[in-house]
Amino acid sequence: MPKGNHVFNHFNKTIENAFKGLIDAAGIRTEMGVAINLKAAKVAPLSQDAAALSSRLPKAWLKFKEIASSAPFMQWDEMQDSEEVAEDDANSVAYGRAAAAFTAEIVKIAFPATRAGARPGAHWMIMLKTGYDGAAAARFIAAGGKDRQRREAQVEGTRLWVKGSLNALVSTWIHYLKLDMDGKK
Where residue 1 falls among pLDDT bands split at 50, 70, 90?
very low
Whole-number pLDDT of residue 31:
75
Query: For 9-21, what is the mean pLDDT?
Result: 93
pTM of the model: 0.90
Query: For 2-25, what is the mean pLDDT?
Result: 87
Q: What is the pLDDT of residues 97-154, one digit of tens each?
A: 999 999 999 999 999 999 999 999 999 999 999 999 898 899 889 988 899 999 999 9
Percent of residues, the chain, with pLDDT higher than 70: 95
Whole-number pLDDT of residue 47:
86
Residue 81 in this model has a pLDDT that exceeds 80: no
Contact in structure between 89 and 25 (CB atoms under 8 Å): no
Question: 3-state class of 3 per DSSP?
Answer: strand
Contact in structure between 5 and 81 (CB atoms under 8 Å): yes
Neighbours of 142 (CB within 10 A): 12
CA distance 168 to 28: 26
CB neighbour list of residue 72: distance below 8 Å, 6 or more residues apart: 157, 158, 161, 162, 166
Residue 2 in this model has a pLDDT that exceeds 60: no
